[in-house]
Amino acid sequence: MSKAPDRLSQKTLGRLPKAIGRPAYDREATRIGIAHMGPGIFHRAHQAVYIDDVLARQNDWAICGISLNSATVREVLKEQDFLYTLAILDRESSFRVIGAIKDVLVAPRQRQQVLRLLGAPDTKILSLTITEKGYCLDVDGNLDLGHPAIRRDLAAPAAPASTIGYIARSLALRRNAGIRPYTVVSCDNLSDNGRRLARAVRQYAAQFSPDLAKWIEDEVRFVRTMVDSITPHSDDALKSRIADALSLTDGWPIQREAFTQWVVEDDFPLGRPDWEPFGVTMTNNVGAFENANLSLLNAAHSALAYLGLLAGFDTVYEAVSEERIARYLHDMMSKEIMPGLTPPPGLDLAAYRDAILGRFRNPVIRHRLSQIALDGSQKLPIRVLGTIHDNLDAVRPIGRLCLIVAAWIGFAQAKAVRGAPIEDPLAEEITRAARRHPVGDDAVVDDFLGQRTVFPDTLQDRPDFRQALKAAYLALGKGEKPDILAALASNDAPVRPSA
């Protein structure tokens, strides 16, 4: 039996093959300047890579991750001195070891260490990738004061467990100690992410300290960003490939496409890394980039997830390789999204659309549709429903956009029929609605529209939206593998039932 390769670590870095990238700086000489909540695969494939580049020139911006739930990231990465491998997958792939993360704290086990980190003068930035549900917002974008995590933290603000609770508590500690506040950098695919997070933190603080809420409003910068890079989950095939390339074992390598984008609002009172030489766009107009990304890329992703899964596909590449799906995506973006966008200077929307479709066709990336389909009740309001609302007001077509929502309903019904769990914060409510009517009965649409945490009153009360959504649902038909082309209208009228 052959011996398993040694583990990737600081000690074994020198044994890497020459073709493998590695930190171009002395990791021991770096200092932590950034705390990051949610050190999952996207953060480690995106923001941490930019910081890895920065540390070769500025050594005071290393990262300490904060895991709000699981200890797995810390346990795996600690064994390899918090090093990990990034596989950049394209027609010609490459591998690189990232060293920007110096430590990871597990909040449920290390609450006081987390608060000390967030209260330290050297911590100048708190960044976040906690997904939409981590913001604990209601359908109107306000803090959901009835959310179990928020209720729990409000009952004991000094012992927080939620992101909102930790931010408010640590800012209160900095204020009391006379330490200037860190800058908060939201890196989630959430429209107007920094402003939404700021409002939620102020609303939380106002429940027990109006003075703190006012201080946060006056003194704390919550920076907007737009992030983009397709980052599939790690799997055993990736681990095996990394072991072959490195001749070392990596317990949790990550992978992403070659394309990566980060647009950041330039408002950092305590200073920031020198990101520009490494491709970060610093701007005061994040919203224009964000709207294009959320409205085009993320809406297309959700469309691929639900329509692709209903059609029997497993990955983005497989689904977009179906000509009828690709044509639908092109028409949906061109006719129902792009007319409502105002691009920033230099961004050609048609070229951006084509680039997105080109990225989806990367044969090396196995981005599973089931990964994208998670948490639809949180994603669809941000990615799709806002555009539908705007189009209705502007008398623009909505049929193809409604097909995404209808496919989500069909996806939930397919899960419910099989008795498979639905991975969503509203899983219980969605499952009940999905089981109440047989597949193909458009009465199920009324039950889904009754989910007020998903569909705002401004859409629920519109007969034109309800009618278009029912037409889209009926267009999907009752078969196990619906004909996507038949589910599309040939013009800009609402989606019609297939013949």
**Which three-class secondary structure state does DSSP give residue 480?**
coil
Contact by Cβ (8 Å): 285, 344: yes
Which residue, 230, 397, 383, is CA-closest to 306? Answer: 383
Return the beta strands (E) in 231-390 as ranges.
254-257, 261-265, 281-283
- The CATH classification number of 287-487 equals 1.10.1040.10
Strand pairing report for 125-128 and 222-223: unpaired
pLDDT at 455: 94
Domain ranges in the chain are 13-284, 287-487
- Smallest CA-to-CA distance from 74 within 85, 62, 84 is with 84
Three-state SS at 96 = strand
For residue 415, pLDDT over 60 is answered with yes
Written as six digits, the tokens of 186 are 């939201």
Task: Write down the mean pLDDT value for the chain.
Answer: 92
Q: What is the pLDDT of residue 90?
A: 87
What is the spatial distance between Cα 136 and Cα 150, in angstroms, rounded to a whole number? 8
Percent of the chain with pLDDT over 70: 95
Question: Which pTM value belongs to this model?
Answer: 0.80
For the record, the structure tokens of 160 come out as: 């927080």
**Domain 13-284 shares a fold with domain 287-487:** no
In 3-state terms the chain splits into helix, strand, coil percentages (rounded to 5) of 50, 10, 40
Cα–Cα dist 416/435, whole Å: 6
Assess whether pLDDT exceeds 50 at residue 1.
no
pLDDT score recorded for residue 257: 93
pLDDT band at 370 (very low <50, low <70, confident <90, very high): very high
User: In this predicted structure, what is the pLDDT of residue 92?
Assistant: 85
pLDDT (0 to 100) of residue 497: 33
User: Alpha-carbon Rg of the chain, whole angstroms?
Assistant: 23
- Segment 286-322, tens digit of pLDDT: 988 988 888 899 999 999 999 999 988 999 999 999 9
pLDDT of 409 strictly over 80: yes
Please give the biggest Cα pair distance in the chain. Answer: 70
Cross-strand partners of 98: 84
Non-local CB neighbours of 443 within 8 Å, separated by 6+ positions: 436, 437
DSSP track, 241-258: HHHHHHSSB-SS-EEEES
Map residue 131 onto helix, strand or coil. coil
Is 91's pLDDT higher than 90? no
pLDDT at 275: 98
pLDDT digits (tens, 9 = 90+) for 324-351: 899 999 999 999 999 999 988 888 999 9
Domain 13-284 has CATH 3.30.70.1380: no
Q: Say if residues 300 and 356 touch (Cβ distance below 8 Å).
A: yes
Owner of token pair 């639900």: 306
Give the SS3 label for residue 333.
helix
- One-letter identity of residue 293: N
DSSP class of 342: -
pLDDT bucket at 111, cuts 50 / 70 / 90:
very high
Contact 109, 71 (CB under 8 A): yes
The per-residue pLDDT for 139 is 79
Q: Which helix (H) or strand (E) holds 51?
A: helix 47-54
The SS3 of residue 127 is strand
* Interval 20-34: pLDDT, tens: 999 999 999 999 999
Output phi, psi for 224, to 5 deg: -85, 145
Residue 84 bridge partners (DSSP): 98
* pLDDT interval class at 140 (50, 70, 90): confident
Residue 2 pLDDT > 70, yes or no? no
Q: What is the pLDDT of residue 482?
A: 54
pLDDT value at residue 483: 58
Query: Quick check: 485 pLDDT over 90?
Result: no
For β-strands 94-98 and 101-106, DSSP reports them as unpaired
Other beta carbons within 10 angstroms of residue 438's beta carbon come to 11
Q: Phi and psi of 281, rounded to 5°?
A: -95, 115
- Please say whether the beta carbons of 47 and 262 come within 8 A: yes
Question: What is the tens place of the pLDDT at every residue in 189-206?
Answer: 888 999 999 999 999 999
